[in-house]
Structure 1
Amino acid sequence: MSEDNPTREPIPTTNRGIEALIRESGEEARQAPLPSGTQPRTIEYPKDPRLLKEYFRNMVRMSLEEETTGQRTPYKKRHGTAIRLAENKVALEEAEARVAETEIDETTGLLSKDATFRKLREMLDQASRSGIPITGLVLDLNNLKTINDLQGHSEGDVRLKKISTTISEQLRTVDIAGRIGGDEFLVLLYDTVPEDAVPYWERINTVLEAAGIRVSAGAAELHSIPGMDPQTIIMEADAAMYVSKLKSKQTLSQPELVLFNNLSPQQKGNLAEIKRNAEARSTKLAG
């Protein structure tokens, strides 16, 4: 057979996406000829929403390229459904929505823990190349467990939302904030050294204090070290926050922002003990 009239093969199965695209009914579409030798691509959807989004973005791009050739070559799932441009666009929109859902903490509206640490990695990589300082600010809602036990989880959620709203109102466009634990928040202040984070904290604390909410806070400059996990990097800010919490409980005073650089060598080396003391003090006060 001549190259001008090649052997044709039908589309194995169809769906609404391909029918809408080629403007034919299901039966007509299944009889639509395709170039002989076409090997539909068998794929599996990635489980990670971000990879799924990227996969469908590539599918849309490839489908658009095929449309310019005039060929109707299907992309084929394992169950045999042909995927074409129309369905790819819908799938891409759904994948983008799934990514958005996984990146936002439902209670506070801030970034989720995973999304926060992804952003942290990106900021650290950028900072390591540019030399721009980044300060990590860890904020912890005091006595959340006691609030939940005595007043109900709804009251705890109200306080968490108030904290997140106050944080968001003070953020610049280059800063990032997320919820990294049940009662903990991480704020990443771009082009900021720890000492310059004090005014930011004071504005937040003034609003929260007026609302009867007590939050302990610690700050540390984040350094990009090859191979180091972000959770390890922010341990300095976490240690400073626990010192703030312990000091507040011991003196029954309003928490203040503690800078990691201002801690004693002993305090820096005894993070586990600092945490135990703060938690023990909290349990004693609650009892």
Structure 2
Amino acid sequence: MTYEGVLTKMQTEFGNPIQYYLVFEDSFLNVNQLLNKNIEISFLGYQCLNCGKKKKIFRQGFCYDCFYSSPAVGDWIMKPELSTAHLGIQDRDLVYEQKVQLQPHIVYLALSSEVKVGVTRKTQVPTRWMDQGATQAISIVEVPNRYLAGITEVALKKMYADKTNWQKMLKNEVQAADLIKEKASLKYIIPKEVQEFFYSEKEDLYLMHFPVLEYPKKINSLNLEKTPNFIGRLKGIKGQYLIFEDGTVFNVRSSEGLIVKIDL
């Protein structure tokens, strides 16, 4: 059976285990059903997720021109503290930025390799945590805009990492931690202007169970632009990675915008 289309990040469904789907224009594929089966992935070309043109992908599924013009990839995406929509100040497109920035955001602790702090829109809970391969996650505050979430994250980055060690995450080398206890210690460490939003009555600890039959001991990252054809036996899915029997891992999200053919 053959599937063909533009790669976008895998869609997830919270469950035990998490269900993963590759969604193409005319079809979709439940990736969990491919565990322990051979898959062939072939690179066919590019298609920008923003303009739809067959142009080489620069970053995040966007061609060079779109990456430097689209409001969907402004600096405030990666650095929420740079958000200015709450002040009525435009970065690239104020209407878009108000729509995204002026909605409830969560600052959270997640355990993917070690304890990390992060920001996500409330609508992305628990998707964000599944995408980063976190085994546990807990919300610290729910604030009304992205800027307040950003300054909270900046304060907590003095104590916690803000990036996942992806190799440790894929090897399942996860430090032990009590996220409920960690969260309780933060109430008066977060900025004063967000202390009223602290989730004091909520201790919803999310536990994520990933469909992995075998974790790799050594990791080799697959880059389809350098290796345009790959065949391997799928042994697991974690975060946005496919894990193969020989230790090869494929980051679907970082390959967004590539046109691929998948043969089963």
Q: TM-score, normalised by structure 1?
A: 0.27
Q: TM-score, normalised by structure 2?
A: 0.29
**Bigger Rg, structure 1 or 2:** 1
Which protein has the bigger strand share? 2
